[in-house]
Amino acid sequence: MMQDRHDNELAAFYREAIARARAYLNGIYPVENFRESDKDFHHVLNQNKSSSVWRITAIGKLRTFTFYIAIPQTFPDSFPKLYLSEIDYAEISPIPHVDRNRFVCTRNPDTVVLNDGQPGEAIEKLLKVAVNILEAGMQGEMKKDFEEEYIAYWNDESELKAIVFSDLPAPPARILMYAFAEPLLDASYLITTSNPIVISWLQRLGVERHISSEEKVLFLQLPKVPESLPKTNRDILTLFAHLDPASLSALDSFRGNTVLASIDRGDQFMLFAWAHLLLPLKGFRRKKGKIPLKLSMRQFPDEKIIRFNIKRLDRDRLIRRAIDMGTFGQEHDSITIVGCGSVGSNLAMLLAKSGTKNFILIDEETLVEENVARHLCGIHDVVTTKSKAEAVKKTLEKHLPFIKCDIHQKNILDMLIHEPQTFNNSKAIIFATANMAAERRANDFFHTQIIKPVIYLWLEPYGVAGHVLFVSPEHGGCYRCCFDFNGGFLFSVSAPGQEFNRREAGCQTTFLPYGAADLGMFCSITCKIIIEILCKIPARSTLYTWIGDKNQFESNGFKISGDYAAHDNYSIHVRNPVPQVMCELCKTKH
């Protein structure tokens, strides 16, 4: 009963808001209802099935505009949509912020909330915004907007979709396009550089697609965004003649029919493609091989081109959508993670999602069922994959199509002896092994054999704290300098002398208890710190200590070290470890 009444009140609220808005608008513009004979009403209703559609004519400074406004049933909590009449659209398109459906993009509904107390005024405001946008566009004031939306306009009238996921060579270049017998991600084509790349990519995704054809693609770079949308062979020739005469010679010798163009706009690049129909040319009929593209374009200038919508799955598109990477994660930078346990594996995924593309993963261990509660990989990976490093690789590669992982199911100390060259190209080496002996030896190695910045990570028992230790290869204050004679960590948050290791009943594995939520917090903070370190390598060794849930730790009967008595839960503390006189590596580096 209560539920029904509540629903009815809400429905009544929306009905009333719509009625009020309409009454208000009627005082300014005549609002017309659906007319069976008006094609525009049908066009807008087809795209907004449960909305009411009103026709309103608004007068601007340059002309009048006829809008069809789709009012959703939950207006004003849902945005009304404004469409131009077919006649108006034909007269003023192409114009920024209006798509092929004649939808006028006024505000971003994700960031703007309509005034629910004055629904009529809210629509009136939207109408004014729309008129301003249209008139600015008509006067060419929105050239920059047009450039920014170029790909959207291009895709609006594209008939085919092609995926680009991998790195392409620098243009100008000849690359390849493969047709799938069945679409993948809604696309029937994939543009890349070789067949084996397609095969391994499909394998990595775990999908099967029959490749029905392969054809050549000419990959060119344009110096700037074209001012119009080409429709025919002639338009393309004009576009190149204006923008980039040098590329015309590339078209001269190209005997294919598909062109992929990129435009580098500094902070991002744009990709779009089109195909020309290949028509039989006089004098070329009997010759083998295809006709040079430019020749065919010249002979059939009115022939329409076919636009491709490029579905980009490359790192720049997927990651830049999420964050500004700054200098982090440049194209060839790789990060080595030693230890693919709960910390290493979850951190790897965060670093990947933040823009790291190349990983070297080292772990000799096998993934087992008792790992999965805190590990990045789940029981499915335990069943199908043996090594931790391989399981992490597969998970990363499945999640992000551009990731590259080299894996080594080996002991880190053996690798330092036999394969030290593995570490040569790493931007940083991250240790998450929870193995003090190995980490101590690595500390010495990366100070004396191969000089590299190394970052050590570990969680304290019950996740009461976590540490990120960056060791500068040049200056004193190393891993060893952070421990006492007995191997006790000098900056431990838990008080010394307590026993934490738990042993699983009836089994030999011991583990440090901590929860997945503590681990998640630590990994997130660690990822932020590592990005900061990699963007600007600190001059000195630095220890970042994250304090977890001290209260929970103490309520379990454990003690916090006196040094941290006054520190807040979930705070971060930064210090520079001092070179110790007793440290063989640092005693000369005071």
Q: State which of residues 478, 519, 530, 560 lies at the interface with Zn ion (CB under 5 A).
A: 478
Q: Which residues pair with 173 in a beta bridge?
A: 219
Q: How do beta strands 510-511 and 502-503 pair?
A: antiparallel
CA distances for 215 relative to 23, 212, 290, 469, angstroms: 60, 10, 12, 52
Pull the structure tokens for residue 305.
């081109």
CA torsion through residues 49, 88, 305, 302, sign: positive
Cβ distance to Zn ion smaller for residue 226 or 579 = 579
Cβ distance to Zn ion smaller for residue 357 or 467 = 467
Cβ distance to Zn ion smaller for residue 231 or 475 = 475
Q: How near is the Cβ of 480 to Zn ion at its closest, in Å?
A: 4
Cβ distance to Zn ion smaller for residue 468 or 586 = 586
Q: Which stretch binds Zn ion (CB under 5 A): 286-294, 304-312, 353-361, 478-486?
A: 478-486
Q: Which stretch binds Zn ion (CB under 5 A): 204-212, 451-459, 477-485, 555-563?
A: 477-485
Q: Is 543 in the site for Zn ion (CB under 5 A)?
A: no
3-state helix, strand, coil in the chain (%, to 5): 35, 25, 40
Other CB atoms within a 10 A radius of the CB of residue 113 amount to 11
Contact letters for Zn ion, residues 509-528 (x by CB under 5 A) = --------------------
Q: How near is the Cβ of 346 to Zn ion at its closest, in Å?
A: 29
How far is the C-alpha of 319 from the C-alpha of 313, rounded, in Å? 10
Q: How near is the Cβ of 574 to Zn ion at its closest, in Å?
A: 19
Cβ distance to Zn ion smaller for residue 95 or 583 = 583
Q: How near is the Cβ of 481 to Zn ion at its closest, in Å?
A: 4
Contact letters for Zn ion, residues 557-586 (x by CB under 5 A) = --------------------------x-xx
The CA-based angle 118-121-122, given to 5 degrees, is 85
Q: How near is the Cβ of 436 to Zn ion at its closest, in Å?
A: 15
Q: How near is the Cβ of 431 to Zn ion at its closest, in Å?
A: 16
Cβ distance to Zn ion smaller for residue 349 or 585 = 585
How far is the C-alpha of 505 from the C-alpha of 178, rounded, in Å? 56
Q: How near is the Cβ of 452 to Zn ion at its closest, in Å?
A: 15
Pull the structure tokens for residue 309.
């919508």
How far is the C-alpha of 585 from the C-alpha of 577, rounded, in Å? 14
Q: How near is the Cβ of 491 to Zn ion at its closest, in Å?
A: 14
Cβ distance to Zn ion smaller for residue 190 or 585 = 585
How far is the C-alpha of 162 from the C-alpha of 272, rounded, in Å? 10
Cβ distance to Zn ion smaller for residue 573 or 589 = 589
Q: How near is the Cβ of 513 to Zn ion at its closest, in Å?
A: 31
Q: What is the 3-state secondary structure (H, E, C) of 125-159?
A: HHHHHHHHHHHHHHCCCCHHHHHHCHHHHHHHCCC
- Cβ-in-10-Å burial (0-12, 13-18, 19+) of 242 comes to exposed
Cβ distance to Zn ion smaller for residue 376 or 585 = 585
Cβ distance to Zn ion smaller for residue 71 or 583 = 583
Q: State which of residues 481, 482, 519, 527 lies at the interface with Zn ion (CB under 5 A).
A: 481
Q: How near is the Cβ of 584 to Zn ion at its closest, in Å?
A: 8
Pull the structure tokens for residue 569.
């839960």
Pull the structure tokens for residue 453.
């910045």
Q: Which stretch binds Zn ion (CB under 5 A): 191-199, 458-466, 475-483, 493-501?
A: 475-483
| Contact criterion met (CB below 8 Å) for 389 and 340 | yes
CA distances for 315 relative to 24, 171, 187, angstroms: 49, 18, 19
Q: Is 480 in the site for Zn ion (CB under 5 A)?
A: yes
| Contact criterion met (CB below 8 Å) for 376 and 349 | yes
Other CB atoms within a 10 A radius of the CB of residue 48 amount to 18
Cβ distance to Zn ion smaller for residue 55 or 480 = 480
3 state SS of 368: coil
Q: How near is the Cβ of 541 to Zn ion at its closest, in Å?
A: 8
Cβ distance to Zn ion smaller for residue 69 or 586 = 586
Nearest C-alpha neighbor of 257 from the set 187, 311, 306: 306
CA distances for 522 relative to 367, 433, 550, angstroms: 22, 15, 14
Q: Which amino acid is at 16?
A: E
Q: How near is the Cβ of 540 to Zn ion at its closest, in Å?
A: 12
Residues that bind Zn ion (CB under 5 A): 478, 480-481, 583, 585-586
